[in-house]
Amino acid sequence: MELNKYIDHTCLKPNALDKDIEKLCNEAIQYRFKSVCVNPGYVKLARNLLKNSEILTCTVIGFPLGATTTKAKVEETLSALKDGADEIDMVINISRAKEHDYKYIENEIRLVRQACKGHTLKVILETCLLTDEEIVATSLASKAAGADFVKTSTGFSVSGANTRVVTLMKQTVGNEMGVKASGGIHSFQEAMAMITAGATRIGASCGVAIMKSLNK
């Protein structure tokens, strides 16, 4: 098993500088991570820094609240892809999920899916704000809309990923979709616990620390 290939090496800080993105990309190349995940404004820079590597460029849409309009999410997706993004991590409208308007959720994901034009789409549920029933329902909506992954968290809310929720999501979507565990994963042990629970991708700003702890 190549743990590095599970990791989306992430820098989504609002005060990130060019040098932070350069460091992120250099680390991704050194450790051969699956992708780097950056805010949309840094997609062009990351893509350019990674152009001679196999590392993918991932970005976030409707981030971190998910409360922008569907039209805005679609346009943001199209802009990110034009700038060179390979993967899209979109935040659902959490308020609509709490209202149990799952038709809205499914329709929004489907429209972003169409905008993705074959690129990988991961759907961020922000599970710490949802009940188990809402997690199941939004996971099923993501699956029905054609998303490639469901993802636990933005890392900007009250808590991040936990193994119980990862298992619930995996049981819901089965093997037809991936599950990305993100938020609060700092070590090899924590990453492996998520993978054992069913995660097929790990989002972490501590990718280097995770890999270094592998040898401890």
Q: What backbone torsions phi and psi does residue 178 show, to the nearest 5 degrees?
A: -90, 165
- Catalytic status, residue 151: yes
Catalytic-labelled residue, pool 73, 122, 170, 180: 180
At position 178, the amino acid (one-letter code) is: G
Compute the residue count for the chain.
216
CA distance 113 to 105: 12
Catalytic-labelled residue, pool 34, 143, 151, 170: 151
CA distance 69 to 64: 13
CA distance 133 to 154: 20
CA distance 56 to 46: 9
Catalytic-labelled residue, pool 8, 89, 122, 170: 89
- Catalytic status, residue 23: no
- Catalytic status, residue 83: no
For residue 135, how far is the Cα from the chain centroid?
A: 16
CA distance 44 to 51: 10
User: Catalytic residue numbers?
Assistant: 89, 151, 180
